[in-house]
Copies of this chain bind each other. A is one copy, B any other.
Amino acid sequence: MAATMHDVARLAGVSIKTVSNVVNGYPHVRAETRAKVLAAIDQLDYQVNVAARNLRTGRTGIIALAVPELSLPYFAELADRVIEAAREHGLTVLIEQHGGDRERELEVLSGARRHLTDGLIFSPLALGAGDERLLEVDFPMVLLGERIFHDGVDHVTMHNVEAARAATAYLLELGRRRIAVVGVHAGEVVGSAGLRLEGYRLALADAGIPFDPSLLGEAGLWHRATGAEAMAALLESDAGPDAVFGFNDALALGAMHELQVRGVRIPEDIAVLGFDAIDDAMYSFPALSTVDPGKEQIATTAVQMLVDQAANRQSYRNGVHRPTRVYADFRILVRGSTEPATEASRR
């Protein structure tokens, strides 16, 4: 079967330790010896048994990424970036989907899988206020999103309130006054839905425009389908919106579809704005204006934090190292769904 270090050592006429030294790039090996070993490795087509190394060192070279589901383009694109960022560090990524199911999210935190990974990048959806204690795990972890926070855990998130406030303000600047939102979670305060709604309300207050609950479109899951449903409900009510702010792009695209099916002109009759800057947002027609949350930055930062945690395990344990919270930069991407204007901006 597969060759082991012993086989290589025997063929090269050295000890197993020397082979190990060569494999791991230990500097104090005579060039001649190294050459012999490399030749043997080549000849036997030897590859390190990562499982054995893992048992010995306790590290696997695998990090886990737990997200709701890859079918949501935002998470697919985030996963893409995380995989590439991990690769830069010589790490591979194991992906777990929890679908926003509480049980599955708990499994992610306590599952046996944790033994096989060097760390976890976790984007929860069901966990929230009250579950902070569950985050006190003894393996490297970086939290994503805004469902839950804990001082003891590294976290990468974004300025949700500010971004939503800026997005709403942008729509107000365009002269829109009846701005509907899609993606509201009734009663939620933490979490993207709660925070983005807060930003929306702040922007309205800034502009002295009264808050009208009839403009709120509920949507538990942030899929295209639910966005379309919420939009339909808004249109069939007497809310009379002249703009829609989707709490993510999928919702906004679903809403846009519903508007178009009903013959509503975008942006003339109703302007549409999304959140996430997923690729498809560029190719709807009109192209969807959206808030870019800095996916790339979120991914690279999260991986870097995980690597740092692993490297400084000791100081993290005794609290010498303070966990940090990073807020990614956001910006509003203006496209045709909010401003008809020129041919160029429409695309």
Contact = CB atoms under 8 A, between A and B. Distances in A.
Interface of A: 2, 47-52, 54-55, 58, 60-62, 69-71, 73, 76-77, 79-80, 83-84, 92-97, 112-116, 138, 223-224, 228, 253-254, 256-257, 260-261, 279-280, 282-285, 287, 343, 346-347
A337 to B, nearest CB: 12
Nearest to A54: B51
A112 B60 CA distance: 11
Contacts of A347: 257, 261
Nearest to A96: B92
A83 B71 contact: no
16 contacts: A51-B55, A55-B55, A62-B62, A62-B94, A70-B79, A79-B95, A83-B95, A92-B116, A93-B95, A228-B283, A257-B283, A257-B284, A257-B285, A261-B343, A280-B280, A284-B284
Contacts of A73: 73, 76, 280
Contact of A94 (B51, B76, B92, B223): B92
Contacts of A115: 47-51
User: Taking the full assembly, how many copies of this chain does it contain?
Assistant: 2
A54 B77 CA distance: 32
Given A50-B112, A61-B116, A92-B94, 16 more contacts: A47-B114, A51-B60, A51-B116, A54-B116, A69-B80, A71-B77, A79-B95, A80-B97, A84-B97, A92-B113, A92-B116, A228-B283, A253-B283, A261-B343, A261-B347, A284-B284
Contact of A261 (B48, B112, B138, B346): B346
Nearest to A93: B95
Contacts of A70: 70, 76-77, 79-80, 83
Contacts of A254: 283
A40 B217 CA distance: 51
Contacts of A47: 112, 114-115
A45 to B, nearest CB: 9
A112 B48 contact: yes
Given A70-B77, A79-B95, A261 B285 contact: yes
Given A71-B76, A80-B69, A261-B343, A283 B49 contact: no
Contacts of A97: 80, 83-84
A62 B80 CA distance: 19
A284 B61 CA distance: 40
Nearest to A47: B112
Nearest to A75: B76
A88 to B, nearest CB: 13
A206 B96 CA distance: 47
Contacts of A93: 94-95
A47 B114 CA distance: 10
